[in-house]
Amino acid sequence: MGSPQAVRTRSAGSIAIVVVLFALLAAMLVAAAPAKAAAAKVVSGDTQLTIPKAQVSFLTTKNVAILPVSPVSFRFQWEPGVSWWFRLPQASGGTFDFTAKTGTLYHDGKLRFVNVSTTTNQNLLMGGLRVVFTKANSIALSSALGTAPATRAVVLAATNTPKYTKEGKTIRIEGIQFKLTDAGAFALKTVLGVDLVTTTLFADTDLQFKIK
């Protein structure tokens, strides 16, 4: 059977072997685990908000206009129907993980919502625009509302899955179906005195940008 000292020596040796094997197994598992892709930095790009003709007609009945603040640019299309197009240049500092479909894209310029029926210059400035992806079909557009001290809120949100494509360092995201959020509708109601719906398409949005 062996002396107690011999038994203790064999037990200690067995424990040491188990510890070594466990450490080796843990190291193998870590090595086999796929590396988590880091989000790539956004170098440059543009975001296009298309306000469709149905929404333009509705905003017109509410006497609401949307005006660009440089460097945001604006154009409109008459046929078929009147659509408003806003081009928002993307600012530095954004990141995007194409595999996970997550990231934040920052923008230069602002949008100004105006109640054109009043003579008191009722308008709401939306600056610091950010498009935030938490997953492929969970996308938000947040904004700093008003002037300093501005309050940040998510004003538009989308739950559809747009088309994601990547060619080299260029990423395109097409067909984000943004709707006005309750927070966005509340802000516009508070400042402009108009009620806007949150159940219809507000902006069909496309993005194109280059990553580092």
pLDDT at 4: 52
Q: pLDDT confidence of 21, banded at 50, 70, 90? A: very low
Q: Confirm if 115 and 122 have CB atoms less than 8 A apart.
A: yes
Nearest alpha-carbon partner for 74 in 126, 111, 123: 111
**Cβ 152 vs Cβ 143: under 8 Å:** yes
Lowest mean pLDDT among 13-17, 137-141, 147-151, 175-179: 13-17
For the cut 60, the answer to whether the pLDDT of residue 27 exceeds it is no
Confidence (pLDDT) at 13: 52
Q: What is the mean pLDDT of residues 193-202?
A: 95
* Alpha carbon distance 116, 123 (integer Å): 9
Note every long-range contact of 10-19, with CB atoms under 8 Å and residues 24 or more positions apart, other chains counting: none
Cα-based distances in Å from 167 to 95, 114, 125, 179: 17, 39, 35, 29
Q: Which of 10-19, 112-121, 135-144, 163-172 has the lowest mean pLDDT?
A: 10-19
Q: Where are the domains of the chain?
A: 1-33, 40-211
**pLDDT tens profile 124-165:** 999 999 999 999 999 999 999 998 788 999 999 999 999 999
Q: How far apart are CA 72 and CA 88, in angstroms?
A: 5
Q: What angle do CA 116, 117, 122 make, to 5 degrees?
A: 60
- pLDDT, greater one: 92 or 29: 92
Task: Give the pair of three-digit tokens for residue 26.
Answer: 């843990």
205: how many CB neighbours lie within 10 A of its CB? 23
- This model's pTM is above 0.85: no
For 45-85, what is each residue's pLDDT tens digit?
999 999 999 999 999 999 999 999 999 999 987 766 789 99
> CB neighbours (10 Å) of residue 111?
21
Q: Report the length, in residues, of the chain.
A: 212
Read off the amino acid at residue 7: V
The counts of H helices and E strands in the chain are 3, 13
Per-residue tokens: 205: 């949005």
Listed residue (142, 185, 178) closest to 157, CA to CA:
178
pLDDT digits (tens, 9 = 90+) for 73-116: 999 877 667 899 999 999 999 999 999 999 999 999 999 999 99
Who contacts 183 (Cβ-Cβ below 8 Å, separation ≥6)? Answer: 153, 154, 155
Query: Distance between CA atoms of 135 and 131, rounded to whole angstroms?
Result: 12
Q: Comparing C-alpha atoms, which of 110, 107, 179, 106 is closest to residue 138? A: 179
